[in-house]
Amino acid sequence: MGTKEDQVADYLRERIISGVYPRGSRLKQAEIAEELGLSITPVREALKLLEAEGYVGGDSYRGARVVPFDPAASAEILGLRVWLETQLVKGATEKIKAQDLVELRELADAFANAFERGDRPNARGINYRFHRRLYDIADMPQTLHFTQILWARYPFDIINAAENRGEDAVDEHEEILQALAAGDVTGAMLAMRKHIESGWSVLKSVRV
């Protein structure tokens, strides 16, 4: 599971990507520590990690704030995401075990159920956990690290707020899972590429 600061950093990443902490919002160390039942130290160290990755910025006087979305960077980030995340899917397909598939299926079903209930904030958080769990299976920590840096700069909150994105994402997750279960490396990579590019097309339509 990693150190306490790693666990806090992953918790905060999920909440930033899912929009629970909106872009530009202030992150208060004491409130986060109290929420998690921890001391200030692992929270402070986690925020330093997130600052290095580009999720938060700020100074010692005003505290950390979630970095605003930069639309000019998204097209370049899209291409980098496709490359890195398809490599992670390739690695995961080659190493995945039956229990991994069970856990991914549970997350995919929970995501679908959350959207069906209209619980978008929870669905966005589950979506993060689905992708993170999948990529952990690949055991490619450097590739995952660079992927997380890209995630900090990508407008998941805008994409996932779009009206029909949930239904499309449910179907795309299913395609990925079927390819993983079949051991189809090429199919899994193509399904992930489709998933990422589908989200990008939603972003373009939202911004038009």
Whether the domain at 4-66 and the domain at 71-207 fall into the same CATH topology: no
Between the CA of residue 87 and those of 45, 83, 185, 207, what are the distances in Å? 29, 6, 10, 29
> Is pTM beyond 0.95 here?
no
Q: Which tokens belong to 75? A: 């097209």
pLDDT tens profile 177-195 = 999 999 999 999 999 999 9
Contact 147, 128 (CB under 8 A): no
The token pair at 156 is: 């998941």
Across 40-44, 55-59, 183-187, least confident range: 55-59
Residue 84: both structure tokens together = 């890195």
| pLDDT for 155 | 76
CATH topology of domain 4-66: Arc Repressor Mutant, subunit A (1.10.10)
The CA distance from 64 to 56, in Å, is 6
Q: Considering only 21-25, 112-116, 159-163, 183-187, which range has the smallest mean pLDDT?
A: 159-163
Domain 71-207 of CATH type 1.10.3210.10: no
Predicted pLDDT of residue 166: 72
pLDDT band at 207 (very low <50, low <70, confident <90, very high): low
Q: Which two tokens stand for residue 159?
A: 């994409």
- Residue 28 has phi, psi (to 5 degrees) of -95, 120
pLDDT value of residue 121: 82
Crossing angle of the two packed helices 4-17 and 120-138, in degrees rounded to 10: 130
How far is it, in rounded angstroms, from Cα 145 to Cα 136? 11
- Give the least confident one: 32-36, 58-62, 107-111, 155-159: 58-62
Task: Map out the domains of the chain as residue ranges.
Answer: 4-66, 71-207
Residue 168 confidence class, pLDDT cut points 50, 70, 90: confident
Distance in angstroms (rounded) separating the CA atoms of residues 128 and 96 = 19
Mean pLDDT score across all residues of the chain: 89
pLDDT of residue 208: 43
| Residue carrying the six token digits 């370049």 | 76
Q: What does the pLDDT average to over 57-64? A: 70
- CB-based contacts of 199: which residues, under 8 Å, 6+ apart? 156, 159, 165, 169
CB count, 10 Å around CB of 100? Answer: 16
